[in-house]
Structure formats: structure tokens, C-alpha cells
Amino acid sequence: MKMMKALKYEKAGRANATIGMVPYPECGDNDVVIKVMAASICKWAEWNHDHGDGGTLAKYPVTTGHEFAGYVAEVGKNVTEFKVGDRVTADNAIPCGHCWYCKNNRPLMCENFGSIGHNINGGFAQYLVVTQDNVVKFPDGFPFDEACITEPVACAMEAFDRADVKPGDRVIVSGMGPHGLILAQMMAHSNAGKAVAVGLRQDRLDWLEEDGAETLLVDRNDQEANLVKLQETFPDGVDCIIDTSGAWPLCATMFKILKKGGRFIQYGSFHRPIDLENVTQFLNDLHFKNQSYIGVSCQVKNFPRSVEYMVTGKVKVDKIITHTFDLDDYFEALDTNMTDRNALKVVIHPNGDPEAPQEEF
């Protein structure tokens, strides 16, 4: 039996995880086997497999990793759009197609949501198998380390779509982690009349400014000063806020300048309890001001557009990649991502140097 190296969780928790040899995936007639050259860590999703319960999508045993890119290593007999050696990534989302939501063209809400890296074997392995319908090509020469970031870009694209920015809108993107940096770039190329990236770290804002984005530095511990800055930047208020930080004190401050009819996109998860001084007043403000509070957590079918944004340079992810590790060092990589405040996207190389010449796939 042909074997390969992979990370495998028998169930949630690091004590139940191993990095070792597992069977090579079987390629069906409509499938593509990908030789994984780069797979990035989704910080909170992978932490949940390693320290939590795996989350609502998890099904064990499973090889995790839902952000990946590599070479086509094998194709099924019905596959005509891809050939061995193509540089590809693949949409990790696989809706069932037969539940009420799927039948009513709302696959993002699928009741039986299939997700590579959560309930289908994923990219922290030397090879994985994917249905051809989910595979997307990258041009030769585009780095694998950047290509594997397509999934975060695709999720950001969902928030971008839901924000529904009209020409002239005033927009805030807050939280300058990977997703905030991605969304800030998207908004810089949008219909917005004014789009401002709001964050706590000047170095990350400087990077955005190098490409022409407008930014605003705020203080984690001084919401009064933050409100003054926001009011000066947006004297007439804002039409849309996309928060990627999950930091409620700043969110509450930004709500104070959200216009009547404005949209608040909750894109970042709240990892701490929220302290609302007056829940009734908060909800009544939403009601009487005709505001929308919109949750966005994942995506379906956004990969082709996301690849286009990356290849054309509308979204640059090279500086988001801060660390790389071999597959054998996965747990060190995850710990680095969780504890190093300078870590953004940490990328795993299951097959060694991703840009080294390949003799075979």
C-alpha cells in the first residue's frame, strides 16, 4: 500500500494527534490528487482541534488543514480541466447539495456542510484528494506560500460582498490580523468614498499605507480617545463597519459613529465574554436607527475571484506570511502562531521547499 506523511487527530486534543504515515488518498473518477506544497494555519480553527472540541464542523478521525496549495499529482479519468503538474489550490467548502438551504441556492447555510480539514481530510499532509469542481489553478510562478492563503481571502470576500458597499460609502475595517489586512486591501479597491483601516499596531498600518490605504491607529486602553479620532476622521459617520478583531470595547466605540441605516459586519469571533452596559439601549439603537448587525464566518465558491484578486495584486499576502515550518514541526508552528504576537500566517511545508524543482509528483 502506498503511504504518505500526515497530521492526524483521532479526536480533539493534542494527546490524540500524531504526525506519521497514513494511506495515500484514492483518486476517484472526478477527483484530483494534490501534492501539498504549502498549507497555512487558521489560528483559531486549528487551536480548537488541538485544545478545544474541534468546533461544530469537526468529525474525527481527520487530517486537519483547510488552507493549502500544491501541484496536481493525479487526475481521475473524467477530469479534463487539470493535468499533472498544474499549480492549484482548492475550495475547502463542500455543501451537500440536497438540504433545504442548498436546494434554495443558499449553500453557505448547508445543514450537512462538508469542509476539508474539519470533517474531510485536509492539507497538513503530503497529498490530499479533492473533487475537481473545487480545484482552482494558479499561474506558473505564483508562490505556493501565497497561494495557500486563498481560503482566508475567500472568506474575506464573503464579508466584502455582505458589506454591499455603495459608491461614496464611508467604511471602517477594524482589527489588523490577517483577515483585517486582507479586507482593508479589498476596501481600498472598492466603491467606498473613504475606507479606513483601524488597528493597534503602526507597523501593520504602515504596510497598508505603502499601497495607498488610509489608516488610523487606535489605543486598546483608551476608548474615549479612540472615539475622538473616529469622529474627526468621519465627521458625518460611517455607512459600514467590518470588525475582524472580536474586541468588544472598540466595537462599542465604533457603533457610536455608525449612521442610521448603517451595517455592522461581525467577521471576527468574540473570544471573551461581552460586557454590554445596557443591552436594551444597544438593541433599541439598532431598531430605531434601522441598522443591520450581520454575521459572516465562512464562504462558498469565492475561490476564483479570490485567486484573481491575489494574482492581479489587489490583495497582497506576502507580508502576511511570517513563519514557515516543516510538517514534522507542526505543533511548534501552532504554538508559535498562538503565542508570538508578531505571527500572522504560519505556513507548513509538507513536502519540503515548496519552490524546489520537482522531478515527479
What single letter denotes the amino acid at residue 98? H
Q: Hunting for cell 454591499 — which residue is that?
A: 164
Please report the pLDDT score of residue 157 as a whole number.
97
Q: Tell me which CATH code domain 154-295 carries.
A: 3.40.50.720
Topology (CATH) of 3-149+317-349: Quinone Oxidoreductase; Chain A, domain 1 (3.90.180)
pLDDT given at position 271: 79
Closest CA to 199 of 179, 183, 225, 219: 219
Q: What is the pLDDT of residue 46?
A: 97
Q: What is the pLDDT along the chain (361 residues), one digit of tens a residue?
A: 899 999 999 999 999 999 999 999 999 999 999 999 999 999 999 999 999 999 999 999 999 999 999 999 999 999 999 999 999 999 999 999 999 999 999 999 999 999 999 999 999 999 999 999 999 999 999 999 999 999 999 999 999 999 999 999 999 999 999 999 999 999 999 999 999 999 999 999 999 999 899 999 999 999 999 999 999 999 999 999 999 999 999 999 999 999 999 999 999 988 788 877 788 888 999 999 999 999 998 999 999 999 999 999 999 999 999 999 999 999 999 999 999 999 999 999 999 999 999 887 7
CA distance 74 to 83: 8
Q: How far apart are CA 61 and CA 12, in angstroms?
A: 9
Residue 74 cell numbers, joined: 493525479
Cell of 25: 488518498
User: Per-domain residue ranges for the chain?
Assistant: 3-149+317-349, 154-295
Q: What is the pLDDT of residue 167?
A: 97
Compute the residue count for the chain. Answer: 361
Closest CA to 264 of 272, 275, 256: 256
Q: Helices 150-163 and 178-188: crossing angle, nearest 10°?
A: 50
pLDDT for position 355: 94
**CA–CA gap between residue 279 and residue 209 (Å, rounded):** 37
pLDDT of residue 276: 75
Asked if residues 65 and 39 have their Cβ atoms less than 8 Å apart, the reply is yes
Please give the DSSP secondary-structure letter assigned to residue 253.
H
DSSP 317-340: -GGGEEEEEEGGGHHHHHHHHHH-
Q: How many whole angstroms separate alpha carbon 225 and alpha carbon 217?
A: 11
Query: Residue 311: helix, strand or coil by DSSP?
Result: helix
pTM of the model: 0.96
